Amino acid sequence: MTSTVLITGSSSGIGKAAATLFTERGWNVVATMRTPKPIEGLTGQENFVVVPLDVTKSDTISKARDEAIKKFGRVDVLVNNAGYSLFGAFESYTPEQLKQQFDTNLFGLMNVTREFLPHFREQHSGTIINVSSIGGRLTFPFFSAYHATKWAVEGFSESLQYELRPFKVRVKLIEPGPIKTDFYDRSLQPTRHEAYDVLMNKATPKIMESGKSAPGPEAVAKTIFAAATDNSNKLRYPVNAGFLILRKMLSDEMFTNLMCKFAFN
């Protein structure tokens, strides 16, 4: 029987690369996005469909789930990939911006997961893959809100795995480091506070450069596919995550000093 995957945030970057890879590997793919648009090379294939889904709107989540099940009979893997990042000093974030950050990266992910849990429990199988970040286990300057959401995703996922294991439902975390996608353009929402301009002007070019020299989203897509086909209870799957090794080796003070030197010197 052909397996089915539903992927959120499939219009570009990691989501698009994952949709492409799963389709090429013969899976049924439900590529979801806020504003549906064709994906070159995929649209029109029998095992591929684009469905509207906005993780901040509950009615679109349930409709996408129902449409996926109607089209392919079942969903075997859910990939929670949709997300973006505020970028700037915490003082520059408005309450509305902070709410939107959490609504998308955390509560949206939770709401999508909640909608699929009855389906997975009833079929006594399923895999939930949450695309987190190395930023869920360490931090960089000017990403405080983004880090807060990703640390929450890590804790949510780690706890959720316990209660779902008796139902044969697995939870997986994908933890990309720097990846060359449009995250640094379309998915990065900069904010400004003049008190931090000097620091921001020093840090921004270095942060942007880390993305330009990084592997592409295909590397993350391959890791997502590996997690989807891994029948073990392994939880975390890092990608280009050398910073995690460094973080484990250094004390809090040493790592903080290193990040300040990297960003502000």
The confidence score (pLDDT) of residue 183 equals: 62
- Whether residue 123 contacts residue 164, with contact meaning beta carbons closer than 8 Å, is answered with no
Catalytic residue among 85, 93, 150, 180: 150
Look over the chain and give the mean of its residue pLDDT values, rounded to a whole number: 95
Closest CA to 90 of 202, 196, 208, 186: 196
Q: In 10 A of CB 25, how many CB atoms?
A: 14
Tell me the two tokens of residue 179.
Answer: 């990846």
Domain ranges of the chain: 4-85+97-181+216-246
Cα 74 to Cα 7: distance, rounded to the nearest angstrom: 14
Query: Catalytic annotation on 132?
Result: yes
- Output the six-digit token pair for 212: 């330009």
Instruction: Look at the pTM and tell me if it is higher than 0.85.
Output: yes
In the annotation, is 146 catalytic?
yes
Q: What b/e readout covers 160-197, taking b as 16+ CB neighbours within 10 angstroms?
A: bbeebeeeebbbbbbbbbbbbbebbeebbbebeeeebe
237 is catalytic: no
Active-site annotation holder among 3, 12, 92, 132: 132
Query: Could you read off the pLDDT of 206-245 as tens digits, one per residue?
Result: 888 877 778 899 999 999 999 999 999 999 999 999 999 9
Instruction: Give the architecture-level CATH label for domain 4-85+97-181+216-246.
Output: 3-Layer(aba) Sandwich (3.40)
Amino acid residing at 109: L
191, 88 Cβ separation under 8 angstroms: yes
pLDDT, tens digit, for every residue of 187-205?
788 999 999 999 999 999 9
Tens of pLDDT, residues 71-93: 999 999 999 999 999 999 999 99
pLDDT tens digit sequence for 94-128: 999 999 999 999 999 999 999 999 999 999 999 99
* % of the chain at pLDDT higher than 90: 88
Q: Which two tokens stand for residue 70?
A: 């109607």
Q: Does position 186 have pLDDT exceeding 70, yes or no?
A: no
Write down the pLDDT at residue 184: 60
Query: Which entry of 12, 85, 92, 146 is annotated as an active-site residue?
Result: 146
Under 8 Å CB-to-CB from 255, ≥6 apart: which residues?
138, 246, 247
